[in-house]
Amino acid sequence: MVDRLANSEANTRRISIVENCFGAAGQPLTIPGRVLIGEGVLTKLCRKKPKARQFFLFNDILVYGNIVIQKKKYNKQHIIPLENVTIDSIQDEGDLRNGWLIKTPTKSFAVYAATATEKSEWMSHINKCVSDLLSKSGKTPSNEHAAVWVPDSEATVCMRCQKAKFTPVNRRHHCRKCGFVVCGPCSEKRFLLPSQSSKPVRICDFCYDLLSTGEMTTCQPTRSDSYSQSPKSPLNDVSDDDDDDDSSD
């Protein structure tokens, strides 16, 4: 089915419409063999709060962006190669329902669909596209993925020292290895994580010690591990606000 659509006029027209919605700031999306599988609005769990994002699933990439005018204009385009993607279902939690994790070596995050049926369809199509790509290339699924950041609202105190309270002055930071919300003194070190950046990035002291001794896998918690350890009551020279997937996240 995908192969039949690849060179069809309808597919070319649909992709052209997506390109136009992103405007000149977006990357060209039309290449031979690329097929637009589907699209829709998903709620992305951003650093500050959940936000609606427009997603487009192609047979080789996943594209998403901020909604400026629904079905007419989007900005802050992000393109994720599907061959690097793995997805995991996550349990419903309060108002956050029908979600799954999108994990890549560079960035990982949670998204939520409006219904369980939508979630099932999205996950099924993504898995099919990834499987087809890997089958054609002969590559193996990626075992490495970036940590999913714990949202700011989940931590009122540092998740490492459990002492430092966050205030407008004592800012929250995120460890790029484990995704925990940590204070400045607990995350002063930098470490090179090539899959995420060409420069050393901020990591917590706990992960730094493990990375330095070669015990890298030990400091990669799951999303549920991160939440179970969070209390319930930003060498990138940019703030944490700026190096999320856009400045408003």
pLDDT band at 193 (very low <50, low <70, confident <90, very high): very high
Residues 54-67 have a mean pLDDT of 98
pLDDT of 235 > 50? The answer is: no
pLDDT tens-digit map of 138-177: 888 878 899 999 999 999 999 999 999 999 999 999 999 9
- Please tell me if the domain spanning 1-145 has the same topology as the one spanning 150-211: no
Residues 215-244 have a mean pLDDT of 40
pLDDT of 242 > 50? The answer is: no
Residue 214: its pLDDT value, please? 83
pLDDT tens-digit map of 29-41: 999 999 999 999 9
150-211 is a CATH 3.40.640.10 domain: no
Q: Domains of the chain: which residue ranges?
A: 1-145, 150-211
pLDDT tens-digit map of 42-53: 999 998 899 999
More confident residue, 32 or 234: 32
DSSP lists the bridge partners of residue 3 as: none
Residue 143: its pLDDT value, please? 82
| Structural fold of domain 1-145 | PH-domain like (2.30.29)
First-last CA distance in the chain: 37
